[in-house]
């Protein structure tokens, strides 16, 4: 008896809370323009005086997305995740419990660090007032799984629920998990993505003392420079990004429109160093090859790579070497969107997966901002200056992280009868 093929998995909803705003069309327009979302920390912000530039996410009123009793105890990372999930589920037009069985619905929302701001505030409270100063809701605020739990409770999601914590690859792992769950027939719909509220004083101090952050830039919009010769570190950003991924046949049955199919994923580990990537790029290459093999596509079919590209010296070089190993002299166009968003840490992978999906939908490839003079050690087919018109049949999104984690996601045009590309959604800048 022939083995039943795995169902196609399609992205039907996108929700974003980013330094470029919350509207999906405006977000992609800013990527293509490009319009930077990086600013100097305003007076009174905890980051003021510590760093030259940050990516501040658009504000979300906690009371607009959470029950009144949850507002005082919800950390910012959860508020942004729930807001992004609200928008993604609305965008997908899906009613959990009606269009899909709640037990066949999963939620995987990841974070690199969880509620750092809650933990920092409560640590200070204990120092000031002793044990009684610490709230009994401490764990409901800072545990990394609380975003997934809040979304599950709000929407009655009763299937698989998880929070993968793999630093800056966390939300890319969450999207990969969506494909794994659907392919294994363990879920029909997965609400997946990630979130990070990274702009706390202690976290900033740690990165600053590790010399990981960009510095010396009078203009904050120039500070994040992926693959550029003058790059000197990443810019911390915050935000959340959520995708609704579902079986394509379910999407067709309910008349939903697909953005893009999620067809492959790869995950490898450098096994090299706790916080430095292996400069040889081998694990990055292995990860991309694994993802392409799962998708059943050849490297020559890839028309765009959204790079992790954080603007660190070794990280960018390692990823470039990995891309070179996979594609050789026939490289597809490559760009990193962190030049305008900064680095959302655990939220970055899902946000950049969304950017990759939108590039497929609109046939527009966003450039790498601030790539004025490419580092000769990062010899890639860079998209520079302005966006590029192209209709890639296959696109790849890469993520990497402290601990040596690597994730690659493969997207292809939606296989659903109704497709967002046919509806000409969004607001991409033409060039």
In a domain, 393, yes or no: yes
In a domain, 206, yes or no: yes
pLDDT digits (tens, 9 = 90+) for 275-305: 999 999 999 999 999 999 999 999 999 999 9
In a domain, 407, yes or no: yes
Q: Is 378 a catalytic residue?
A: no
Query: Is residue 156 over pLDDT 60?
Result: yes
In a domain, 420, yes or no: no
pLDDT of 421? 82
Q: Is 168 a catalytic residue?
A: yes
Query: Is residue 428 over pLDDT 70?
Result: no
Q: Which of 29, 343, 362, 369 is catalytic?
A: 343
Nearest to 351 by CA among 267, 427, 269, 238: 238
Query: Is residue 2 over pLDDT 70?
Result: no
CB 121 within 8 A of CB 133: no
Q: What CATH number does residue 59 fall under?
A: 3.40.47.10
Mean pLDDT over 28-43 rounds to 97
Q: Is 382 a catalytic residue?
A: no
Query: Is residue 1 over pLDDT 50?
Result: no
Q: At what angle do helices 313-327 and 282-295 cross, to 10 degrees?
A: 50
Mean pLDDT over 187-212 rounds to 96
Q: How many domains does the chain have?
A: 1
What's the chain's average pLDDT? 95
Instruction: Compute the distance between CA of residue 424 and CA of residue 130 in angstroms, rounded to an integer.
Output: 58
pTM for the full model?
Answer: 0.95
Residue 100 belongs to domain spanning: 9-414
Instruction: Compute the distance between CA of residue 110 and CA of residue 96 in angstroms, rounded to an integer.
Output: 21
In a domain, 428, yes or no: no
In a domain, 421, yes or no: no
pLDDT of 263? 98
In a domain, 298, yes or no: yes
In a domain, 430, yes or no: no
Q: Which of 29, 32, 168, 369 is catalytic?
A: 168
Query: Is residue 426 over pLDDT 80?
Result: no
pLDDT of 430? 39
**pLDDT bucket at 402, cuts 50 / 70 / 90:** very high
Q: Which of 32, 192, 287, 308 is catalytic?
A: 308
pLDDT of 279? 97
pLDDT digits (tens, 9 = 90+) for 96-114: 999 999 999 999 999 999 9
């Amino acid at each position: 008896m022939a083995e039943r093929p795995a169902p196609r998995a399609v992205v039907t909803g996108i929700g974003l809370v980013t330094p470029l705003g919350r509207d999906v069309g405006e977000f992609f327009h800013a990527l293509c323009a490009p319009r930077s979302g990086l600013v100097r920390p305003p007076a009174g912000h905890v980051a003021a005086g510590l760093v030259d530039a940050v990516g501040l996410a658009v504000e979300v009123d906690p009371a607009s997305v959470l029950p009144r009793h949850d507002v005082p105890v919800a950390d910012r990372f959860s508020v942004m995740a729930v807001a992004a999930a609200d928008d993604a589920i609305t965008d997908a037009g899906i009613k959990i419990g009606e269009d899909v069985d709640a037990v066949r619905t999963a939620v995987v929302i990841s974070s690199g660090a969880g509620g750092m701001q809650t933990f920092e505030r409560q640590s200070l409270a204990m120092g000031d007032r002793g044990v009684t100063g610490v709230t009994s809701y401490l764990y409901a605020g800072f545990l990394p799984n609380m975003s997934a739990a809040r979304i599950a409770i709000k929407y009655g999601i009763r299937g698989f629920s998880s929070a993968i914590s793999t630093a800056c690859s966390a939300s890319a792992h969450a999207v990969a998990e969506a494909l794994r769950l659907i392919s294994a027939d363990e879920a029909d719909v997965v609400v997946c993505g990630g979130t990070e509220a990274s702009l706390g004083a202690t976290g900033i101090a740690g990165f600053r003392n590790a010399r990981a952050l960009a510095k010396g830039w009078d203009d904050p919009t120039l500070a994040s420079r992926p693959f550029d010769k003058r790059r000197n570190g990443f810019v911390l950003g915050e935000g959340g990004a959520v995708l609704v991924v579902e079986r394509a046949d379910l999407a067709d049955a309910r008349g939903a429109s697909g953005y893009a199919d999620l067809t492959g994923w790869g995950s490898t580990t450098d096994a090299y160093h706790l916080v430095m990537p292996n400069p040889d790029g081998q694990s990055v290459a292995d990860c991309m090859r694994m993802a392409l093999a799962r998708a059943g596509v050849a490297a020559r079919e890839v028309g765009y790579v959204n790079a992790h590209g954080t603007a660190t010296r070794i990280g960018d070089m390692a990823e470039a070497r990995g891309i070179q190993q996979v594609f050789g002299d026939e490289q597809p166009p490559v760009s990193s969107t962190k030049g305008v968003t900064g680095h959302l840490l655990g939220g970055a992978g899902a946000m950049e997966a969304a950017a990759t999906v939108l590039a497929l939908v609109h046939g527009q490839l966003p450039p790498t901002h601030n790539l004025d003079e490419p580092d000769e050690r990062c010899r890639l087919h860079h998209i520079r200056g302005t966006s590029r018109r192209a209709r890639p049949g296959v696109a790849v999104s890469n993520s990497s992280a402290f601990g040596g984690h690597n994730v690659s996601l493969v997207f292809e045009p939606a296989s659903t009868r109704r497709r967002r590309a046919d509806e000409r959604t969004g607001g991409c800048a033409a060039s």
